[in-house]
Amino acid sequence: MHYNVTHLRRQAFYALPQSDWQLLAAPPISYLDTLIAVDEGIEANGRIASGILSAALSSLNLPSNAPTSSHISKQNHSLDWHGHATPNDNDKAQTIIRQLYRDWSVEGAPERNSCNDPVLEDLALEFPVSNGDINRNDIKILIPGAGLGRLVFEICARGFQAEGNEISFHALFTSSYILNSLPPGGSGSYQMDLYPWISTFSNRISRNDQLRKVKIPDVHPGTELESASEGQKIHAFQRMSMTASDFTLLYGGDGNKEKFNAVCTVFFIDTAPNLLRYVETIRNCLKHGGLWINVGPLLWHFHPNLGDDGHGRNEDILDGEDGEDGVGNKDGRRENGKGNNNNNNKREDRGIAEPGSVELTNEEVLSLVEQSGFTIEKQEIIEAGGGYISDDTSLFVQRYRLSHWVARRNR
């Protein structure tokens, strides 16, 4: 990361005429001091990444200290996970850093609340605590594309059984670390320094904006869930879970048929190459009368390879969460728009890797949902929807209007 972010910039800086770089290195600009500060921020982010890696290796029963390259046999080469990051790996790491800011910092609360709060309010209306006939501990909620797990955590903390689903192992390892591996402690001793914008040099008003530090997480999940378990029939630790799988493959089968009381999709449905598969899967895993709550834009991640549309949409997503780095660069890429047209009438059980794609309008999405066994009970466009891992201090700020609707399975 240092090489890509600061080393190359130092080389380019010293390639300037000497009189120019000397002027820029001196106060008040002090550009070389900026690069030193950026390196320190990268190191701080690296400590978080090391913690995530160590926890992931422990969960997989792999050694925490891999042998050095000179001692690795061909059979054990896979254990050497250091020094082999690809540019795509670095992009994903940057996305995770910014998702940590969005989901687990105080500063990220306005953005995440703009889409999470409508879901929590809809669940509260459907399953009110005041209704003595409802025990939320028995209500099962599914959250596909759970990302770093904040909505899963919030739903569980309100007494529900919350099951997240995610396909990105980067997100899975990170959410597991935040939810399960933080040391106990009061007065914020569990918190870590995060520099979400440290590698972004463009569109800066002030250098302090780039070097801004936040603390994560804003709450200790274990402590909060312990408190939320008081007086409950089922402890919160037993009510929260995460699955690692392609959403349609896992939840479209008999094993999850009519299992959930509600499905909550937040910034998720536009990750579908063919939305009909998501609709069928949600109908399969929802109980009769169950609720589907949706909040998000329609920034379709899949489209035929018709050339670059300026938003990176030639590169598809295997990630449930919207992992933007600027505009539209997403996690988990594969080729798209190259399915064999001779197989159009042949249903392939390949989940998100199924060939073909279609991009629908909001009206068309709602029509498809209604045709597929749902009744739309509520729909609105949230005008002040907010961004997605966007930096409000930047000269470039992206904002979404969010489609929020509630549908009930009627057959």
Residue 165's identity, in one-letter code, is: N
pLDDT at residue 144 is higher than 50 = yes
- 3-12, 201-210, 290-299, 359-368 — which is least confidently predicted? 3-12
Q: What percent of the chain has pLDDT above 70? A: 83
Average the pLDDT over 204-220 and give the result: 97
Average the pLDDT over 332-342 and give the result: 37
User: pTM for the complete prediction?
Assistant: 0.87
Q: How far is CA 255 from CA 138, 247, 275, in A?
A: 18, 13, 21
> What pLDDT is attached to residue 242?
97
pLDDT at residue 248 is higher than 50 = yes
- 122-131, 216-225, 349-358 — which is least confidently predicted? 349-358
pLDDT at residue 342 is higher than 70 = no
Bigger pLDDT: 254 vs 76:
254
| Cis previous bond, 63, omega within 30 | no
> What pLDDT is attached to residue 330?
38
pLDDT at residue 145 is higher than 50 = yes
pLDDT at residue 93 is higher than 80 = yes
> What pLDDT is attached to residue 335?
32
* Mean pLDDT of the chain, nearest integer: 87
Predicted confidence band of residue 324 (pLDDT cuts 50, 70, 90): very low
Q: Which helix (H) or strand (E) holds 50?
A: helix 31-59
Predicted confidence band of residue 8 (pLDDT cuts 50, 70, 90): very high
pLDDT at residue 187 is higher than 60 = yes
Cα torsion angle, 203, 209, 212, 218, sign: negative
Predicted confidence band of residue 326 (pLDDT cuts 50, 70, 90): very low
pLDDT tens for each residue of 151-166: 999 999 999 999 999 9
> What pLDDT is attached to residue 311?
34
CA distance 267 to 264: 10
Average the pLDDT over 187-212 and give the result: 95
Residue 143 CA, chain-centre distance (Å), reads: 12
The DSSP output letter for 379 is: E
Average the pLDDT over 25-51 and give the result: 97
pLDDT at residue 206 is higher than 80 = yes
CA distance 149 to 166: 9
pLDDT tens for each residue of 45-64: 999 999 999 999 999 988 87
pLDDT at residue 188 is higher than 60 = yes
